[in-house]
A and B are shown apart, each in its own frame.
Chain A
Amino acid sequence: MTEAEVEDKRITLAEAANLVSDGDGLFWGGFGFQRAPIAFAHELVRQKKRNLTVYTCGSEVDLEIMAGAGVATRYEIAFSAIEALGLSYNIRRRVSEGTLEVEDYTNLAMAMRFLGGALNVPFMPLRSMMGTDMVNLTRYRGENKLKVIDSPFTGEKICVVPSLQPDFSIVHVQRVDQSGNAQIDGIVGEDIEGSRCGKKLIVLAEELIDEEEVRTRPDQTKIPAMYVDHVVVLPYTAHPMMCHNYYDYDLEHLMMFHKLSRTEEGWQEYLDNYILGVEDHHGYLDLVGWPRLMELRAKKPWGY
C-alpha cells in the first residue's frame, strides 16, 4: 500500500488569529470552565481585532476578555458570568455603555443553531423560550432572532431558531495530529456541532500526536481531519480555565481576574499586564509562572 503524504495543517497562534478579519463571526468552543480557547482570545486582543460577533452557549473568562478589550461588539449567547465567583463585570459595563450588544438565547437554542448550521439547514425547532420575554424582546436581530410557529405537522406551538454558519469555528481540544484529527476528553459541550458549523475550523490543541495514535483509537476522534482547516498546538491554551486530563483551573488567578474586573481601572491593569504586556502565549505562561502551571497539572485518575 502506498502511503499518501499527509498534509501538515499546523500554523502559529499569531497566524491563526491573523486569518480573522474585523467584523467576522466566530463560533467559540469550550463550555463553562472546560477547554476555553483563552489563548486565542488573548491573541485577538493583541492583534486589535474589532467588531467581532461571537456565538457560544456559556463561555466565561474568554467572553469577559473579548468584551473588555473591545474586540467583540456582538454576542449571541446563553450565559455570561463566572460560575462560583459571580457576575461578568466587563460584559455588564460594555452593555451599559452601549458598546456591546447581547442577543439572548438559551443553551439548547444555541446548540441547536450550531447543529442546524452543521446540518446545512436554515433553522431548527425546539421547545424552549416560548411564553417568555426571550421571544418578545430582541436587539439587532429584530424579527430574525427566533419565531414561534404552529408545527406544520401537528399544529402545536414550536420555537424555531436560525442556524449559524459563522466565518470561523474556534475549538480547543486535548490532542490533535498534524492533519487535524482531534481528540476530546471528558465532556464535549456543544463542540461537536460547533466545530462543524463554521466556514473554516481552527483547532487549538494541548498536545500533538502522531497519526498512528489516532488510528490506534479511532473512537477517540471527536473531529475528523476532513473538517479541520488549521491546527495550532499550544500548551495551557485554556489557563486560567481547565483542560480535562491536562490541568485544573487556576482558582487564585480566576479570583484575581474577577476582582480586578470589578472596575474599569482594574480590568485595564489586567489587560496591560497579562495580555498586551506579553509578546505571545509563551510570554503569558512565563508571567503566570511555571511552578504554578506545574501545580495545576492533572493527576491520574482524576483528570484535574
Chain B
Amino acid sequence: MARYTKTEFLIACASSHVRDGENVFGGTGMPLLAALLAKETHAPHSNLISEAGFIDARPREVPLSVADTRYYYGSSASLGLIETLGFLLQGGRIDVGFLGAAQIDEYGNLNTSYIGPYESPKVKLPGSGGGNDIASSAKRLIIMMSHDKRKFVKKLDYMTSPGHLEGPGSREKWSMVGNGPEVVITDMCQFDFAPETLRIRLKSVHPGYTVEDVKENVLFDLIVPDDVPTTPEPTQEQIDIMHKLDPNGIYLGKGA
C-alpha cells in the first residue's frame, strides 16, 4: 500500500473521473494536476483546455494562473475567451469542468460570491469568473471542496453557479447546454446525485472516515445507499507521476 498525503489522494480521486478522449477545463491547483495525471495514465487522449485560451495544453511546470505563460509551451493553440468559453464551452464541446465552492446545497448549486446577505455581505468571495459559464454548459461537472459542515448547507447565501437547481426538469427549463454536477469530492467522501431526485447522495467514503462522520458534517438530509464503498487509494505510480508533473511541490507541497 502506497503512503500518500491528503492532496495526493484527492488528485488521484478526481483524476479517475476524467475519461479518455474528453475535452477538459482544468484550471489550476488540484483540478489541473488531476487532469494532467489522467492524461499520463488512463486518459492519454484527453484534451486539457484553460479558459484563458490555451488548447490541448501540456505544461512542463504547473501554472499558477489560468493565463500563466506556463500553459503556453507545448499547447496546440493559444487563443482567447470567446474561443474557450464561447465556441468551445457554450458550443457544447467541453465534456468536463472542475469547480470549487465556498457553499454547496443538496442539488449541487454553488456559491463562490458572497458570505452573508447580498445587501451587506460579510465576505466578498472571488465571484463566478468562468464558473457559472462552466456549470451551465460543460457536459459534466466535477466539484472539489474542503469538507466543512458550514459549507454543505440547506440554503446558499448566494447561488453563483447552477447545479441541478430545484431538481428534475429545472436545467431544461433554462435550456442549459450541460447536464450539471456528476460528482462532489471532499476530503471525507465522494457524493453523486440520485437520478430520480437529483439530490446529493453519498457515493463513497475515504479511508479513515465513516458514513456517520459524513452525515454529521452536512447541514441537509443526506441520501445514504445501503452499501457505501471505500474510495480507492492512489497507487505509487500515480503518486510518482504527480510529483513529476509538479516537481517543485507548488500544489503538492514540499514535504511529501
Contact = CB atoms under 8 A, between A and B. Distances in A.
B31 to A, nearest CB: 13
Interface stretch (A46-54, A72-80, A260-268): A72-80
A134 B160 contact: yes
Interface of B: 28-29, 51-54, 60, 64-70, 72-73, 78-82, 85-86, 89-90, 109, 113, 118, 120-133, 136-137, 156, 158-162, 165, 170-171, 173-177
Interface stretch (A8-16, A160-168, A209-217, A296-304): A296-304
Given A187-B80, A189-B67, A132 B132 contact: yes
21 contacts: A32-B66, A33-B64, A33-B65, A33-B67, A58-B129, A84-B28, A107-B129, A108-B133, A127-B136, A128-B90, A131-B162, A131-B170, A132-B159, A133-B113, A134-B132, A157-B173, A188-B80, A244-B69, A245-B69, A301-B73, A303-B69
Contacts of B70: 302, 304
A129 B173 contact: no
B127 A80 contact: yes
What 9 A-B pairs come out closest when comparing CB atoms?
A32-B67, A187-B53, A33-B65, A79-B129, A81-B126, A34-B67, A188-B80, A130-B174, A32-B65
Interface stretch (A91-99, A227-235, A275-283): A91-99
A79 B28 CA distance: 15
Given A57-B129, A79-B128, A137-B158, 6 more contacts: A79-B127, A92-B123, A106-B132, A106-B133, A128-B136, A157-B174
A193 interface: yes
The listed residue with most A CB atoms (<10 A of its CB), out of B52, B128, B132, B162, is B128
B225 to A, nearest CB: 28
B68 A33 contact: yes
Nearest to A137: B118
A32 B85 contact: no
A131 B72 CA distance: 35
Contacts of B85: 107-108, 111
A223 B85 CA distance: 21
A32 B125 contact: no
B79 A77 contact: no
A190 B72 contact: no
A178 to B, nearest CB: 26
Contacts of B121: 95-96
A191 interface: yes
Contacts of B68: 32-34, 242, 249, 304
A186 interface: yes
Nearest to A35: B67
B206 to A, nearest CB: 25
B80 A34 contact: no
Contacts of B28: 83-84
A248 interface: yes
Given A32-B65, A134-B160, A191-B80, A127 B90 contact: yes
B136 A77 contact: no
Contacts of B171: 131
Contacts of A132: 109, 132, 159-162
Interface of A: 31-34, 57-58, 77-81, 83-84, 87-88, 91-92, 95-96, 102, 104-109, 111-112, 115, 126-134, 137, 148, 156-158, 186-193, 242, 244-245, 248-249, 251, 298, 301-304
B126 A107 contact: no
A127 B160 contact: no
Given A32-B66, A34-B69, A242-B68, A127 B177 contact: yes
A109 B161 CA distance: 13
A25 to B, nearest CB: 19
A83 B124 contact: no
A137 B127 CA distance: 13
A115 B82 CA distance: 9
B173 A131 contact: yes
A251 B136 CA distance: 33
B54 A106 contact: no
Contacts of B161: 132
A127 B85 CA distance: 11
B6 to A, nearest CB: 19
A133 B127 contact: no
A78 B133 CA distance: 11
B79 A127 contact: no
A302 B156 CA distance: 43
Given A127-B177, A132-B160, A106 B129 contact: yes
A211 B80 CA distance: 26
Contacts of B159: 132-134
A262 B124 CA distance: 14
Contact of A78 (B124, B130, B137, B158): B130
Contacts of A134: 128, 132, 159-160
Contacts of A107: 51, 81, 85, 128-130, 133
